[in-house]
A and B are shown apart, each in its own frame.
Chain A
């Protein structure tokens, strides 16, 4: 996990976990996490501008909802959205739940197996 203060309000940071890179965002009232790869051409979502519950990719301006992973703009893009991950705050530390093994496993946030903590 990361200490909350390492990710400023309304910004995102890239987090490397094994060979995966996630983008973790501080929305002010909570944290959200997605793959750090825009479904369009792989841009770094962590570097985008946060607007409400969405982020705008810095490369070509695609707008991605951070809660659902759905592409808000351009509409009707026909692209699948981006993968999202559940996040919990534990004593000032951001915990992100990565499903182990089968990516179709849904994550039980109460148990949070394979839970990772993030540091700089």
Chain B
């Protein structure tokens, strides 16, 4: 077998290697990568910076893949020299390795503009995983971050830093943000959206120096103006790494020049990816590079024939409701059609040349970008069909995918058509998104085609595993979100009403409790309660045990008790001869084995409110000690936790809600595996949601980073109420957040417009105003025999 050395372990290189392997065993492959990681998705570094993904989530090829394909992977070795005569490469570790064929996939490096002071501490590029980790280390609520460069990468960096709590300013040389993708009008819409997110944008500014004594203190512009900064990210462009190409004696202009077969000027040396120049263009987006890789693989494996002729470039920006899509050449066409809706922040421009689509800009709503991209790539004629240029949005995503042609591209990055996906579904039995990724590589690039892929799976795969089924049971045959709408618009307030009008009149043990919850939530507590529609735990406000006795857990806010409280609990345990007194994982105390008839008396003697340990409601807030005593605490976690529990107690939820607050990232109360967690950091809090450590284990997602405790509590309230209103009954937050994705959750809660946030908090407060301690019922039971065992009347 011929020895192939691949210099570079990045996305383009490894995608090409994958294709080479598909052609059959031809090469003995060695890969040198100067980063110390396996091949990871560089596009998703933005998601890592924004706290949406962890390092492991973005790996494309695991070590196992390399081993399985007998690829010798040498990480952390930079190839510094090539000897084309001897056909060897030399690494910075001193090694020399022979090759028969060489593939250069050296990518690009961040371009550092001529700014004085780039060597100061606190200046970063945003190119690698190590850059990202360094940024995450520095980012926080008291950090002033300046991003130099308002293109795709700069804006994604800005978003990530802002989610981590930084005060961010984007500084851009040109007068229009993202000027390579947007026209002046579109650029203005984008600026408005960035500013709504709290990111400041300065246009037409040329940065000349970074000022500071050793550490960054400010940046200076050409007009002398200065801007304070603790952190500077340089995202001003990339330059192809062509040094090795030169040393190998290849023809190099801006990039290593290749022809349509992806051949260089040397027969033994090939090149792919960002280091390459094809027909004068160096591509910096992943889709063209994957296409190039396929052609190169054919050429390199004796199947020379397919050609690469260039790609219609499409760029997508998708950050918290700021959606931008731009493709083709929208500037140089004679015919334009524009659509603007300033209030919705929506701008569209379509450029037409010779009767076909030449380019498109979408700002605000990019849900049908695949349609435009398809027209662009196929050169479809649009004359006489101008009304189709801005079609009304399809309300049913299922309809949309049905209308797509089989040849239409679903995943632009990897280049997967609808037909390929359907084939995978039919022939390989693919029925989940993960299987689809595995089988076709669709959705492994930027990830924005996920909803389209899901739509296709839903429409075509017979065993599609979607979100949890949302129709509860046969008694009331509506999906839950529709049911909520029906109950609200028809103003139904009792379970029996709902069953009689919209159901089978009878109901069952599945729908009755679910409807009870829905009515309570929709009317903020102002509904008609019906005990017969509740599970026993909610009838008697205690947790039924295997022998028909009950467990009683009083509220101990934040896990902080007092001697008097403990004495009362002990006295009650003795008086009622409670068989077991147990400390629970929720940092409170459980009295087990109490008879139903004794419940009201036990509650009266305890004099403590219900801990709701038995219901689909707010359980507890665990805390660690925090600044009150702990030498590591950065925040008062006990204080915040007690306040959090007081604000949320007595409310009911689609499924139990368990929370925790911790005073520092040591996380002693495990806040990162809770439904809602507050993690204290220097200068503020991270609010995290959707975690779990029970039947399922899931690390919570970062919702938002804030400076003040009050802001953290508000963010928790907004998310909590949103969960109450949108989750399916019995759907824990870990399923809910996973199903929606944290981006959507953020967009509809903490980054929603002010009116939406206020309305959520308002409904939360209304529910809270009507909420009461369930154990008060002990004093005046709704039904006199609720807790009683009857005995025969005297005759």
Interface residue tally on B, bucketed by range? 20 to 34
B1 at the interface (CB under 8 A from A): no
- Chain A neighbourhood of B547, CB < 8 A: 42
Contact size range, A: 35 or more
Cβ of B532 and Cβ of A50 under 8 Å apart?
yes
Q: What CA separation (Å) do A100 and B531 show in the bound complex?
A: 35
**Given A44-B548, A56-B509, A59-B546: A116 and B535 interface contact (C-beta under 8 Å):** no
* Interface pair A49/B785, CB less than 8 Å apart: no
Whether a CB of chain B sits under 8 angstroms from the CB of A67 is: no
Nearest chain B CB to A85's CB is how many angstroms away? 13
B507 touches which of A15, A21, A51, A59 (Cβ 8 Å): A51
Q: Does B584 belong to the interface (CB within 8 Å)?
A: no
Q: What is the CA–CA distance of A71 and B269 in the complex, to the nearest angstrom?
A: 76
A51 touches B792 (CB 8 A): no
- Interface residues in B538-562 by Cβ distance below 8 A to A read 539, 544, 546-548
Q: How close is A113's CB to chain B, nearest CB, in angstroms?
A: 13
Is A120 touching B535 in the complex (CB atoms < 8 A)? no
Interface residues of A in 31-50 (CB under 8 A from B): 41-44, 47-50
- Check A2 for interface membership: any CB of B closer than 8 A: yes
Instruction: Give chain A nearest CB distance to B358 CB in angstroms.
Output: 63
CB <8 Å contact, B788 and A13:
yes
Q: Is the pair A118, B506 in contact by a Cβ cutoff of 8 Å?
A: no
Contact B791 A16 (CB under 8 A): yes
For residue A8, CB closer than 8 A to chain B, the reply is yes
A76 to B534, CA, bound (A): 28
Decide if B532 touches A119 in the complex (CB within 8 Å).
no
Q: A2-B790, A47-B544 are contacts. A13–B535 as well, Cβ < 8 Å? A: no
Answer whether residue B658 sits at the interface, using C-beta atoms and an 8 A cutoff: no
Q: Is the CB of A119 within 8 A of B794?
A: yes
| Chain B residues with CB under 8 A of A120 | 784-785, 788, 790-791
Q: Is the CB of A49 within 8 A of B535?
A: yes
Asked whether, in the complex, the Cβ of A15 is within 8 Å of the Cβ of B509, the reply is no
Residue A17 lies at the interface, judged by CB distance under 8 Å to chain B: yes
Write the chain B residue with the least CB distance to A8: B783
Q: Which residue of the partner chain, among B506, B509, B785, contacts A7 with CB atoms under 8 Å?
A: B785
Residue of B nearest to A54 (CB): B508
Taking a contact as CB atoms under 8 Å apart, the answer to whether A119 and B791 are in contact is: yes
The reply to whether A118 and B507 contact each other, CB–CB distance below 8 Å, is: no
Q: Does B795 contact A (CB under 8 A)?
A: yes
Contact A119 B548 (CB under 8 A): no
**B789:A14 contact, CB within 8 angstroms:** yes
Q: Cβ of A24 and Cβ of B548 under 8 Å apart?
A: no
Which residues of chain A are within 8 angstroms of B42 by Cβ–Cβ distance?
Answer: none
A93 at the interface (CB under 8 A from B): yes
Contacts of A7 in B (CB 8 A): 785
> Is B793 within 8 A of A41, CB to CB?
no
Residues of A near B792 (CB, < 8 A) are: 1, 15, 17, 116-119
**Do B793 and A119 have beta carbons less than 8 Å apart?**
yes
Cβ B791 vs Cβ A118 within 8 A: yes
Cβ–Cβ < 8 Å partners of B532 in chain A: 8-11, 49-50
Query: Given contacts A56-B508, A120-B785, is CB(A15)–CB(B544) below 8 Å?
Result: no
| Chain B positions 489 through 524: 1 when the CB is less than 8 Å from some CB of chain A, otherwise 0 | 000000000000000001111001100000000000
Known: A8-B532, A47-B539. A119 touches B795 (CB 8 A): no
Q: List 6 A-B contacts (CB under 8 A).
A: A10-B532, A21-B789, A49-B508, A51-B512, A56-B509, A118-B790
Interfacial residues, chain B to chain A (CB-CB below 8 A): 506-509, 512-513, 531-536, 539, 544, 546-548, 783-785, 788-795
Chain A positions near chain B (C-beta within 8 angstroms): 1-2, 6-11, 13-17, 21, 24, 41-44, 47-52, 56, 58-59, 61, 93, 116-120
For the complex of A and B, list the 5 residue pairs with the smallest distance between their C-beta atoms, beginning with the closest. A119-B793, A10-B532, A117-B793, A47-B536, A56-B509
Given contacts A44-B544, A59-B546, A61-B509, 12 further A-B contacts (CB under 8 A): A6-B785, A11-B531, A11-B783, A15-B791, A17-B791, A48-B509, A49-B512, A52-B506, A59-B544, A118-B791, A119-B790, A119-B792
